[in-house]
Amino acid sequence: MTAQRVPFLSFATVAERDAYWPAATAPLGAQCVTLDTHAQWELNDQTGARKWTPPWNISWGSVTTPAVVTAGQSGIGNAMTALTGYALTAVAVNNRRWRISTYIPRIGIAAVGSEILINVQGGVTGTSLFCQTRFNVAQVPSAGSIPGVYIETQYATVASTHLMSVALQCTASTASLSYVGLSSGFLSVEDIGPSTPVPV
């Protein structure tokens, strides 16, 4: 096998990069920067096709702008109910790992059922369950609130556009929940690296 020297180039824009170095013909492992966004790129086939991506074996950071919640919602009962403001769209490529995080500043409880459920959802239709957190009746006071609920989960990506959301339910038909949305409430999606271990 003959080693190939791959230059590291800079381009003014992605369009200039693609005109000079199309993904179909540029050598795998090629790296460059585009000066308009100061982004670094690597040509690889880790997603199942030759594609320019950020360098593969590192985290890529925020996948999309986090949803910041500034309003609340009341009257949540025994139907799973999407929370106002906790929604975003995130586009995935194959074989990456996402960290999905959400924070609800407070869940108010008017009456308690057997369980309180919090779903983190995504997928093409927004109904795929990524994570479910449960509070049973023994963990919750008869009335009052649950302060500061933080949930974090991970997802090994498959290429698609995800409609991300957070939903809340109380399992008793007489129960009533509300949540308080403050500037600190959020839903975020971060790329934290490849979905398989990095070779060493």
pLDDT at 143: 61
| Over residues 112-128, mean pLDDT | 83
Q: Is the pLDDT of residue 184 over 70?
A: yes
- Mean pLDDT over all residues of the chain? 86
> How does residue 12 score in pLDDT terms, banded at 50, 70 and 90?
very high
Domains defined along the chain, listed by start: 8-58 (no CATH), 62-194 (2.60.120.40)
Give which of 25, 19, 26, 24 is closest to 8, Cα–Cα: 26
Question: How many CB atoms within 10 Å of residue 84?
Answer: 14
127/112 Cα distance (integer angstroms) = 25
Q: Is the pLDDT of residue 1 over 70?
A: no
Above pLDDT 70, what percent of the chain?
85
pLDDT tens, position by position, 24-66: 999 998 999 999 999 999 999 998 899 999 999 999 999 999 9
CA distances from 170 to 69, 121, 136, 147, 173 (A): 21, 17, 10, 16, 8
pLDDT at 125: 85
pLDDT at 109: 77
pLDDT tens, position by position, 134-169: 887 666 655 667 778 899 999 999 899 999 999 988
Helix spans in the chain (H): 14-20
pLDDT at 192: 96
| Over residues 196-200, mean pLDDT | 75
> How does residue 116 score in pLDDT terms, banded at 50, 70 and 90?
confident
pLDDT at 87: 94
Give which of 33, 23, 55, 61 is closest to 42, Cα–Cα: 55
pLDDT at 96: 95
